[in-house]
């Protein structure tokens, strides 16, 4: 690197900051800070080339040339450099999104051979601190501190644990060469031998000036455990084991909120954070011996811990070291804790499991975890984490078994930790959903500031299908100085809750905002960004299935691959394959992905595959396969204890029961689902089905009540009702209101339905508007809208059949019998194999009406008889049309008395149900007064005037 300062310069000055080139120090007016080599090199590069865009790739090439490092290293170095510069100077480094960094100092750079006088005081203070630090550098038993008694070298271990473990003594003399050599060697381990640790340990000096809050009496504590992941290190597994063991202990405590390494790099968050840095290395001149280090920054003070021993002794060393760190961080919880029981070989394999868990690659966790548990059957933490992975993969029986063993092996623990373990055990068991929610609710109530409890409780509410309750909990969570990871997790949960409630636009908005945050944060947040993109893709699919697979699926899969999460990458690709528009060979690709999922124990994808197959079968009109796949999916969900999916599938199956005319079974299913406390988008579908069944029976007010109940799912703060799945509710509501003669309200509902950016609501709304215009007497407008409705796209065979039957019905009433006949002729062979008695009967009723308009009453009676055999006795909406035809047929045959009797019965039932449309058609049949308990002429006119239904008469049946 070519620099603007001469080779003999010893000091640089930028504004009020002095850069000591010899000792890598930054000297400000108040303090002197030593900076690690890599951070210092980065600063020198910025100083030598200010006001220039430094790309990330360029910085990697110049600072880490020929070295394999994680992409997050650069972000961490920039963060550390900003911390070293201080609050008033950190804005000298400007981040350019997606590009890199620009160094923008406030003035020119100067250089000197001697320390400028203005910096003398701060430099002297810094040198004094360095002397003190060097004198205190000799490692003690496990803790470097003059004001703390040496901790006895007692290590709890299994009877088979090694008897010889060397711990550094608390006091060492520098008068002997051997002592001096040992001290130098250990300083090397903390420096060059643990270079990655030194990179982050600069936080010690950087955070000393922060407004630390004393540990005594502190209600909650924010902590972070960071293990250095140096690819060149020979023994990273030892530090990983310590990281996992220590993190589990700390995270189990109700007063501790554990932050991630990415949280530290992102900045913000709590004002007070205790940080533990961990590393391990093979001793450079002692083959087979390993040292493990911990450096604790707590309450503005730094403490060092260090142990060493043979490779076989590492698990016992780690256990001892974790106890000493716990005694320093949370002395009130220094015991009781279980003994760490595994071999060094198992610990090495466990490091792979831990890395997979860090990437949330549950298939890899399950695979490696099974091997670790076999090698170390008494290692409780591995069983706990294996159970977590198996539950994510829907292997509930295996997860329960591992979790029960974990609770038994992870003992003894403090009482509060035991309560959390029991809550985790219940959460793993899908059949203990209610007990798990109660357990976490109790934990949240007792420890409201424990973020992990809050998030777990909200996740359980979503798993139980209660997104509205989850939203309430999210709103109640404090958001002051929360870490970025918590904010993103809350946004993800909020987006999932909106999606489950059918509020897809809102889900997309929250996920989009979260995606931007994770994108701006950089590579350390790849997994979180992939999660937000997957949420966006799912929202797109739900809202517009006609568009095929969302491009966000592929992008999410790429990011998951980058982050090392094969489980979610497979999941994303599977969803993309599943939602793609059908093409030759597409099912073969899905089978290949499913085979991979089964090989990885991912049973969740098996359920998704069956649901996808059912959807595809429904789309092509294969009702038999559709029903069979749903029943298989229900069995899989039941075996997995997935109550939420069982309810979802039951709601979908409810439609088939209604369409098949099995009203009694539908009533029983509705009763079961009514007690299920549905809060997801399924409640919209459930509300639609209940309303349709009630409307079929003429129970219009009951139908409106069901629609009202469905719409209550949306929170009070939600937007207008013309978004998401509520569009379908508005269309159904319009149909019910038209039957009741409430045209203005029906028009408003149709307008909401038509505006919704959701699936094919537009086609349904247009058909409803055509019916409305016919009822109001504007036949020209009705015909134009009917033409438009017939051209509009509709997805899925069942949706198309229903839509076409509605078009044919209106066409008959508008005098276009030919169009109706063509439609019915097209539908008859498609409907016959389905077993959907109600749809088939609706087509037969329509054919009977069409034949009657042609004066072919004999054919009309044939179709009517077929329809009568298909539909249940209480299917009012169909039977009333048949009864009207029967009365009109009698009148055409000159049987006025028979016509009057049939009309009187129909008129009475129509008034009882409030079916104004049917009542007005009866009025057209016979003169006022000809029917028993008939309306008089004035009442008839008043009814037309009140409703505006001037076209509702049965004039379409006149020859």
How far is 849 from 907, CA to CA, in rounded Å?
A: 19
- The pLDDT value recorded for residue 418 is 94
Residue 122 confidence class, pLDDT cut points 50, 70, 90: very low
Residues 6+ apart with CB under 8 A from 40: 24
CA pseudo-torsion sign 182, 183, 186, 187: negative
Specify whether the CB–CB gap between 876 and 909 falls below 8 A: yes
Residue 632 confidence class, pLDDT cut points 50, 70, 90: confident
- The pLDDT value recorded for residue 72 is 63
Say whether pLDDT at 694 is over 70: yes
Angle 570-576-580 from CA coordinates, rounded to 5°: 150
Of the candidates 135, 138, 141, the residue with the CA atom closest to the CA atom of residue 168: 141
How far is 523 from 534, CA to CA, in rounded Å?
A: 17
- Interval 853-901: pLDDT, tens: 999 999 999 999 999 999 988 999 999 999 999 999 999 999 999 999 9
CA pseudo-torsion sign 927, 929, 935, 938: positive
Q: At 309, is the secondary structure helix, strand, or coil?
A: strand
Say whether pLDDT at 170 is over 70: no
Say whether pLDDT at 601 is over 60: yes
First to last CA, the chain: 98
Range in 89-93, 212-216, 344-348, 632-636 with the lowest mean pLDDT: 212-216
- Interval 14-44: pLDDT, tens: 988 999 888 788 888 877 787 877 888 899 9
Q: Measuring CA to CA, how many Å separate 409 from each of 105, 158, 238, 338, 396?
A: 57, 13, 21, 8, 20
How far is 169 from 151, CA to CA, in rounded Å?
A: 10
How far is 770 from 772, CA to CA, in rounded Å?
A: 5
Which tokens hold the place of 712?
Answer: 């209550």
Residue 66 confidence class, pLDDT cut points 50, 70, 90: low
How far is 297 from 674, CA to CA, in rounded Å?
A: 55
How far is 110 from 154, CA to CA, in rounded Å?
A: 55
- The pLDDT value recorded for residue 396 is 83
Other Cβ atoms closer than 10 A to 582:
10
Specify whether the CB–CB gap between 27 and 119 falls below 8 A: yes
How far is 372 from 382, CA to CA, in rounded Å?
A: 7
Range in 100-109, 473-482, 697-706, 762-771 with the lowest mean pLDDT: 473-482
Backbone torsion region of residue 67, taken as left when φ is above 0, otherwise alpha when ψ lies between -120 and 50, otherwise beta: beta
- Interval 742-766: pLDDT, tens: 999 999 999 888 876 555 678 899 9
Of the candidates 147, 149, 140, the residue with the CA atom closest to the CA atom of residue 172: 140
Helix (H) or strand (E) holding 436, with range, is helix 433-446
Main-chain dihedrals φ then ψ at residue 463, nearest 5 degrees:
-65, -30
| C-alpha 717, offset from chain centre | 21
Specify whether the CB–CB gap between 354 and 372 falls below 8 A: no
Range in 130-144, 452-466, 653-667, 736-750 with the lowest mean pLDDT: 130-144
Say whether pLDDT at 453 is over 80: yes
Helix (H) or strand (E) holding 13, with range, is strand 11-14
Q: Which domains does the chain have, with CATH numbers?
A: 11-126 (1.10.10.10), 136-334 (3.40.50), 341-413 (1.25.40.10), 872-959 (no CATH)
Q: At 685, is the secondary structure helix, strand, or coil?
A: helix
Residues 6+ apart with CB under 8 A from 131: none
* Mean pLDDT along residues 473-480: 86
- The pLDDT value recorded for residue 444 is 94
How far is 358 from 364, CA to CA, in rounded Å?
A: 11
Of the candidates 780, 851, 781, 853, the residue with the CA atom closest to the CA atom of residue 815: 853
Name the residue with higher pLDDT: 341 or 719. 341
How far is 313 from 904, CA to CA, in rounded Å?
A: 96
How far is 357 from 833, CA to CA, in rounded Å?
A: 50
* Mean pLDDT along residues 243-260: 95
Q: In what order do the strands lie in the sheet with 100-103?
A: 53-55, 100-103, 93-96
Residue 284 confidence class, pLDDT cut points 50, 70, 90: confident
Name the residue with higher pLDDT: 213 or 445. 445
Q: Measuring CA to CA, how many Å separate 11 from each of 83, 118, 235?
A: 20, 13, 38
Residue 236 confidence class, pLDDT cut points 50, 70, 90: confident
Q: Work out the burial of residue 115: count CB atoms within 10 Å of its CB; fewer than 13 is exposed, 13-18 middle, 19 or more buried.
A: middle
| C-alpha 691, offset from chain centre | 31
Find the radius of gyration of the CA atoms of the chain: 37
How far is 320 from 245, CA to CA, in rounded Å?
A: 11
How far is 372 from 356, CA to CA, in rounded Å?
A: 13
Say whether pLDDT at 492 is over 90: yes
Main-chain dihedrals φ then ψ at residue 54, nearest 5 degrees:
-100, 110
Per DSSP bridges, beta strands 301-310 and 100-103 are unpaired
Of the candidates 218, 239, 202, the residue with the CA atom closest to the CA atom of residue 35: 202
Q: Work out the burial of residue 268: count CB atoms within 10 Å of its CB; fewer than 13 is exposed, 13-18 middle, 19 or more buried.
A: exposed
- The pLDDT value recorded for residue 505 is 84
Residue 268 confidence class, pLDDT cut points 50, 70, 90: confident
Name the residue with higher pLDDT: 798 or 601. 798
- The pLDDT value recorded for residue 638 is 83
Backbone torsion region of residue 451, taken as left when φ is above 0, otherwise alpha when ψ lies between -120 and 50, otherwise beta: alpha
Say whether pLDDT at 212 is over 70: no
Other Cβ atoms closer than 10 A to 14:
22
How far is 388 from 381, CA to CA, in rounded Å?
A: 11
Residue 79 confidence class, pLDDT cut points 50, 70, 90: confident
How far is 752 from 711, CA to CA, in rounded Å?
A: 13
Of the candidates 461, 404, 409, the residue with the CA atom closest to the CA atom of residue 428: 404
User: Percent of the chain having pLDDT more than 70?
Assistant: 84
- The pLDDT value recorded for residue 147 is 31
Q: Measuring CA to CA, how many Å separate 469 from each of 416, 493, 505, 510, 746?
A: 26, 12, 20, 18, 32
Other Cβ atoms closer than 10 A to 207:
17
| Residue 929 half-sphere exposure toward CB, CA atoms < 13 A | 3
Specify whether the CB–CB gap between 767 and 809 falls below 8 A: no
CA-based max dimension of the chain? 130
Say whether pLDDT at 323 is over 90: yes
User: Percent of the chain having pLDDT more than 90?
Assistant: 48
How far is 460 from 466, CA to CA, in rounded Å?
A: 9
Of the candidates 851, 833, 846, the residue with the CA atom closest to the CA atom of residue 877: 846
């Amino acid at each position: 690197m070519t620099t603007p300062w001469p080779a003999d310069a010893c000091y640089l000055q930028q504004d009020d900051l002095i850069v000591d080139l010899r000792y890598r120090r930054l000297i400000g007016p108040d303090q002197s800070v030593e900076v690690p080599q890599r951070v210092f090199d980065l600063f020198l590069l910025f100083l030598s080339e200010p006001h220039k865009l430094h790309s990330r790739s360029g910085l990697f090439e110049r600072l880490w040339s020929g070295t394999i490092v994680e992409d997050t290293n650069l972000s961490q170095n920039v963060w550390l450099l900003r911390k070293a510069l201080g609050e008033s100077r950190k804005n000298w480094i400007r981040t350019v999104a997606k590009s890199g960094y620009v160094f923008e100092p406030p003035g020119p750079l100067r250089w000197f051979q001697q320390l400028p006088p203005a910096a003398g005081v701060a430099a002297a203070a810094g040198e004094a601190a360095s002397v003190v630090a060097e004198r205190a550098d000799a490692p003690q038993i496990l803790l470097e501190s003059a004001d703390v008694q040496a901790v006895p070298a007692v290590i709890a271990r299994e009877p088979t644990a090694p008897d010889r473990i060397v711990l550094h003594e608390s006091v060492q003399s520098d008068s002997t060469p051997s002592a001096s050599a040992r001290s130098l060697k250990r300083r090397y381990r903390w420096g060059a031998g643990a270079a990655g640790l030194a990179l982050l340990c600069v936080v010690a000096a950087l955070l000393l000036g922060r407004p630390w809050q004393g540990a005594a009496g502190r209600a909650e504590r924010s902590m972070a455990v960071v293990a250095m992941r140096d690819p060149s290190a020979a023994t990273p597994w030892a530090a990983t084991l310590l990281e996992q063991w220590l993190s589990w202990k700390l995270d189990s405590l109700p007063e501790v909120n554990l932050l991630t390494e990415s949280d530290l790099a992102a900045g913000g968050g709590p004002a007070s954070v205790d940080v533990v840095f961990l590393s391990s290395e093979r001793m450079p001149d002692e083959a087979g011996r390993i040292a493990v280090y911990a450096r604790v920054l707590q309450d503005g003070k730094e403490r060092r811990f260090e142990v060493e021993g043979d490779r076989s002794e590492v698990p016992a060393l780690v256990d001892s070291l974790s106890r000493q760190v716990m005694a320093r961080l949370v002395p009130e919880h220094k015991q009781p804790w279980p003994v760490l029981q595994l071999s060094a070989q198992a610990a090495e394999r466990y490091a792979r499991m831990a890395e997979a868990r860090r990437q949330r690659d549950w298939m890899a966790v399950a695979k490696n975890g099974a091997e670790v548990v076999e090698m170390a059957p008494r290692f409780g933490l591995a069983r706990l984490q294996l159970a977590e992975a198996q539950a994510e993969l829907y292997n509930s029986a295996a997860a329960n078994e591992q979790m029960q063993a974990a609770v038994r092996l992870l003992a003894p623990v403090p009482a509060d930790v035991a309560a959390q373990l029991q809550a985790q055990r219940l959460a793993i068991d899908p059949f203990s959903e209610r007990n798990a929610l109660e357990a976490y609710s109790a934990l949240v109530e007792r420890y409201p500031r424990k973020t992990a409890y809050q998030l777990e409780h909200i996740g359980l509410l979503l798993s139980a299908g209660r997104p509205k309750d989850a939203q309430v909990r999210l709103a109640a969570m404090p958001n002051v100085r929360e870490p970025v990871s918590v904010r993103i997790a809350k946004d993800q949960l909020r987006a999932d809750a909106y999606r489950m409630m059918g509020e897809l636009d809102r889900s997309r908005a929250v996920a989009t905002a979260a995606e931007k945050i994770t994108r701006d944060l950089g590579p350390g947040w790849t997994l979180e960004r992939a999660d937000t993109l997957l949420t966006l893709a799912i929202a797109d699919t739900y809202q517009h299935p006609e568009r095929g697979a969302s491009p966000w699926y592929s992008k999410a899969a790429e990011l998951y691959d980058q982050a090392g999460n094969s489980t979610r990458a497979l999941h994303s690709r599977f969803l993309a394959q599943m939602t793609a528009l059908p093409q030759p060979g597409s099912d073969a690709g899905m089978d290949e992905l499913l085979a991979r999922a089964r090989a990885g124990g991912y049973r969740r994808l098996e359920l998704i595959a069956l649901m996808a197959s059912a959807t595809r079968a429904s789309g092509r009109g294969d009702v038999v396969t559709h029903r069979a796949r749903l029943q298989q999916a229900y069995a899989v969900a039941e075996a997995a204890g997935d109550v939420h999916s069982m309810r979802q599938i039951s709601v979908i199956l409810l439609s088939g029961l209604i369409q098949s005319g099995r009203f009694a079974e539908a009533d029983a299913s509705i009763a079961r689902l009514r007690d299920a406390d549905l809060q997801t988008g399924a409640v919209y579908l459930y509300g639609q089905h209940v309303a349709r069944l009630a409307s079929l029976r003429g129970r219009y007010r009951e139908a409106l009540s069901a629609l009202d109940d469905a719409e209550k799912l949306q929170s009070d703060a939600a937007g207008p009702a013309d978004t998401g799945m509520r569009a379908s509710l508005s269309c159904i509501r319009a149909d019910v209101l038209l039957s009741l003669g409430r045209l203005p309200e029906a028009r408003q509902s149709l307008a909401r339905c038509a505006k919704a950016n959701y699936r094919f609501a537009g086609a349904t709304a247009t058909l409803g508007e055509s019916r409305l215009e016919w009822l109001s007497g504007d036949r020209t407008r009705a015909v134009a809208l009917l033409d438009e409705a017939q051209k509009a796209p509709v997805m899925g065979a069942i949706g198309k059949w229903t839509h076409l039957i509605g078009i044919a019905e209106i066409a008959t009433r508008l005098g276009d019998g030919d169009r109706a006949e063509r439609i019915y002729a097209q539908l008859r062979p498609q409907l016959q194999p389905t077993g959907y008695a109600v749809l088939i009967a609706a087509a037969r009723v329509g054919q009977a009406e069409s034949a009657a308009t042609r004066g072919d009453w004999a054919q009309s009676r044939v179709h009517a008889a077929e329809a009568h055999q298909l539909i249940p006795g209480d299917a009012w909406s169909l039977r009333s049309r048949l009864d009207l035809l029967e009365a009109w047929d009698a009148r055409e045959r000159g049987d006025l008395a028979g016509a009057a009797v049939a009309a009187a019965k129909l008129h009475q039932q129509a008034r009882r149900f409030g079916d104004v449309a049917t009542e007005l058609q009866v009025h057209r049949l016979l003169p006022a007064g000809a029917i028993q308990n008939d309306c008089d002429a004035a009442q008839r006119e008043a009814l037309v005037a009140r409703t505006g239904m001037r076209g509702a008469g049965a004039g379409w049946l006149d020859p």
